[in-house]
Amino acid sequence: MEVLGIPVDGITMEEAVATVEGYIEDGTPHQVVTVNPEMLMLARRDTGFREALLKADLVVPDGVGVVWASRHLGNPVPERVAGYDLMLSLLEVSARRGYRVYFLGARGEVVEEAARSARNLFPGLQVAGFHHGYFPAGEEEGVVEGVRYSQPDLLLVGMGSPRQEKFLARNLSRLDVPVGIGVGGSFDVLTGRIRRAPLWMQEAGLEWFYRLVREPYRLGRMLALPRFAWTVLREGKGNGIDRG
């Protein structure tokens, strides 16, 4: 279904993992996006970002706001597919199936520790390589070459939106990797530098509030949430949908 003009795949976490596994077995390049309300609002004013989302092979609803929007617009997705949880599931599958994983993003010490933490969590995981995400535009070609030389099956890009999605859209065919997925700040969570909300808050759809309390500097970004809700409500009315 579409949310604010962006197609979102209505699949479960289990189906998302199986789809990505199929992409890896296929071997041709695929981009996966975990989309949230902030990203959908940004795509309305950033044409390059919007094009990257539209070109993606799989777009899953990472954010309770996207799930709510799908329900309000009359075509509900079955569940939230949280980006961090999807990453962990893909790491587990990779360890079990022998897929090679490359970690790209965050600071140098963080991405190295993230790769080490992933190996500890999932024994047998093959880390194809890692590289920090703070490289200038002039070094992008070298980073792409490094990834391609490492021959990963799965590329995790933790450079934040919209940079990570634009990077993948721009370079996916040259990276020669079956699956590239943007994972935002997941490397910081994986290393324990940032804590996730308690499970009850995640299940109640309050993970955004937990992050705001712990990281008040995110307030400006969080203002996208009420704007998103208003835009969805207005779009719904424009389509003759009014669910109160």
What is the Rg, in whole angstroms, of the alpha carbon atoms belonging to the chain? 18
Give the rounded distance of the alpha carbon of 137 from its chain centre. Answer: 22
Please enumerate in sequence order all residues whose Cβ is within 8 A of that of 166, keeping only pairs 6 or more positions apart, or say none. 48, 49, 52
Compute the distance between CA of residue 117 and CA of residue 14 in angstroms, rounded to an integer: 23
For position 239, what pLDDT does the model report? 59
Bridge-based pairing of strands 179-182 and 154-158 is parallel
For position 177, what pLDDT does the model report? 98
- The model's pTM is 0.89
CATH architecture of 2-194: 3-Layer(aba) Sandwich (3.40)
Quickly tell me which residue has 């919209």 as its tokens.
162
Please enumerate in sequence order all residues whose Cβ is within 8 A of that of 56, keeping only pairs 6 or more positions apart, or say none. 31, 32, 33, 165, 169
For position 204, what pLDDT does the model report? 56
User: What are the distances in angstroms from CA 50 to CA 4, 5, 34, 94, 163?
Assistant: 11, 9, 14, 30, 12
pLDDT beneath 50, residues of the chain: 210, 217, 219, 240-244
Largest CA distance in the chain: 54
- The DSSP-derived string for 10-61 is ---HHHHHHHHHHHHHH-S-EEEEEE-HHHHHHHTT-HHHHHHHHH-SEEEE
